[in-house]
Amino acid sequence: MESRTLGSVVGLGTYATFEGDAARARTVVDAALGAGTTSFDSSPMYGGAEGALGRALEGRRQGTAVATKIWTPRVDEGRRQYEDQRRFFERVEIEQVHNLVAWEAHLPWLAEERDAGRIDRIGVTHWSAGSFRELERALRGGRFDTVQLPLNPHERDAEQRLLPLAEELGIAVIVMRPFGGTGAPLLRRMPSAAELAPLRDFGVETWAQALLKWVLSDQRVDLVIPATSRPERVAENAAAGSPPWFGPEERAYVERLARI
């Protein structure tokens, strides 16, 4: 799999897939590590996902990166979430402010942790285009290293200002919701094998892979984090993380298929 700024280009999201189910997390994480995935995204908002992910990664953290989040309006509660995370994961490589919640209050202590070398990167996330102006303001402050945002053929608002801004400021981009989020609305209608045939030379065998490759063919994207509860899908998704990448023609073709 290709590596960019944050490690393997296909990571693993953990929203609503295994929650507190440690056994399921273990099989999914086994598949991810086996497929060359190095980045794992979580949050205190995802039920018991952080604890389950931490147990699944125990003893095999070398070469991996945990990207998790602080999700609370209160700094003291944020610090408590961080302490829990250090117990779950030993260390947090990427600490993000979830959905911009109290980002100005959390930024100073998160930057302090990063500057002391206890966190590699700090970031900020939002899922809604309605909050992209605020996300932009947070990035323009110049202190965040990563931004997490939605990007798929049905959700392209980030292309207007956020992706160019991240590129200009050298901020790494993590893409959430590559299939449109929980329930994967973009996967509801699967193009036929004949429709996917023109993408076969790019290593694409499934519609999920076409969508992931569509995201990663934008070189401003560093990491995409599809979530799945099924080990076989982890391998399928990871396989989309190798070149060759789509050019403008193939990207436009995927966009047309996604509109049908």
Ligand X SMILES: NC(=O)c1ccc[n+]([C@@H]2O[C@H](COP(=O)([O-])OP(=O)(O)OC[C@H]3O[C@@H](n4cnc5c(N)ncnc54)[C@H](OP(=O)(O)O)[C@@H]3O)[C@@H](O)[C@H]2O)c1
- The residues that touch ligand X, with contacts defined as CB under 6 A, are 13-15, 17, 41, 98-99, 125-127, 148, 176-184, 187, 208, 225-230, 233, 236-237
Min separation Cβ 66 and ligand X, Å: 11
**Minimal distance, residue 187 CB to ligand X, in Å:** 5
Chain-centroid distance, C-alpha 67: 8
Which residue number is nearest to ligand X in terms of Cβ?
Answer: 13
CA dihedral 119, 143, 82, 224 (to 10 degrees): -80
Question: Taking the complex as a whole, how short is the minimal distance between the CB of residue 108 and ligand X, in angstroms?
Answer: 21
Say if residues 30 and 70 touch (Cβ distance below 8 Å).
no
Query: Shortest Cβ distance from residue 8 to ligand X (Å)?
Result: 15
Q: Which is nearer to ligand X, 115 or 214 (CB)?
A: 214
Torsion of CA 221, 219, 144, 114, to 10 degrees: 90
Q: Name the residue nearer to ligand X (CB basis): 227 or 250.
A: 227
Cα(12)–Cα(227) distance, rounded to whole angstroms? 6
| Least distance to ligand X, CB of residue 77, Å | 17
- What string of DSSP letters covers 182-236? TT-GGGSSPPPHHHHGGGGGGT--SHHHHHHHHHHTSTT--EE--B-S-HHHHHH
| Nearer to ligand X among residue 14 and residue 38 (C-beta) | 14
Task: Compute φ and ψ for 155, nearest 5 degrees.
Answer: -130, 95
The tokens describing 107, both together, are 């930024």
CB nearer to ligand X: give 76 or 232. Answer: 232
| CB nearer ligand X, residue 8 or residue 99 | 99
The distance of closest approach from Cβ of residue 136 to ligand X in the complex, given in angstroms and rounded to an integer, is: 16
The sign of the CA dihedral 175, 161, 92, 9 is positive
Q: Cβ of residue 226: shortest distance to ligand X, in angstroms?
A: 4
Nearer to ligand X, 50 or 250 (CB): 50
Report how far residue 135's alpha carbon sits from residue 103's, in angstroms, rounded to the nearest whole number. 10
- Which SS3 state, helix, strand or coil, does residue 67 take? strand
**114 vs 135, beta carbon nearer ligand X:** 135
> Which among 86, 121, 164 has a CA at the least distance from the CA of 6?
121
CB of 27 to ligand X, least distance (A): 12
- Based on CB atoms, which residue is closest to ligand X, 28 or 246? 28
**DSSP alpha helix (H) spans, the chain:** 22-34, 49-57, 75-89, 103-115, 132-140, 162-169, 193-196, 207-216, 231-238, 248-259
